[in-house]
């Protein structure tokens, strides 16, 4: 299977085939996650994910395989407002 092309936070990106949202969040936060989408180290992650404009609840991250050509938003708290 070939890597899949997606748009991640407005930029082109490639993911290994079969990547789940949980894999993606771990890749970016550096934190291994439970099946429920919580950090194994007990800290709060402070991130959320939307795929094609629909929010994927953290409890669904582990079972959600990222489709090719999807638009992914990975967000967190930032200074402002």
Partner 1 sequence: MMTKTQTHDPLQIAGVALDSRLVMGTGGATSLATLEEALVASGTEVTTVAIRHYAAAGGDSVFAMLERLGVLALPNTAGCYTARDAVLTAKLAREALETNWIKLEVIADEHTLLPDPIELFSAAEQLVSEGFDVFAYTNDDPALAQRLDDVGVCAIMPAGAPIGTGLGILNPHNIATIVNRASVPVILDAGIGTASDAALAMELGCEAVLLASAVTRAHNAPLMATAMRDAVNAGRAARLAGRIPKRDLALASSPAEGTMQTLAGQFQ
Binding site for partner 1 (CB under 8 A): 9-10, 28-30, 43-50, 53, 55, 57-58, 73-81
Residue 25's CB is within 10 A of a number of other CB atoms, namely: 24
Q: Please, are residues 57 and 25 in contact by the beta-carbon 8 Å criterion?
A: no
> Toward partner 1, which CB reaches closer, 1 or 54?
54
> Least separation, in Å, of the C-beta of 42 and partner 1?
11
1 vs 78, beta carbon nearer partner 1 = 78
Please choose, from the candidates 62, 59, 54, the residue with its C-alpha nearest in 3D space to the C-alpha of residue 20: 62
């Amino acid at each position: 299977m070939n890597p899949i092309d997606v748009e991640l936070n407005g930029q082109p990106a490639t993911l290994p085939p079969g990547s789940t949202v949980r894999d993606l969040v771990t890749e970016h936060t550096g934190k291994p996650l439970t099946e429920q989408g919580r950090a194994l180290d007990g800290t709060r992650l402070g991130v959320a994910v939307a795929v094609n404009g629909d929010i994927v609840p953290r409890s669904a991250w582990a079972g959600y395989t990222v489709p090719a050509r999807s638009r992914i938003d990975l967000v967190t708290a930032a200074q402002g407002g």
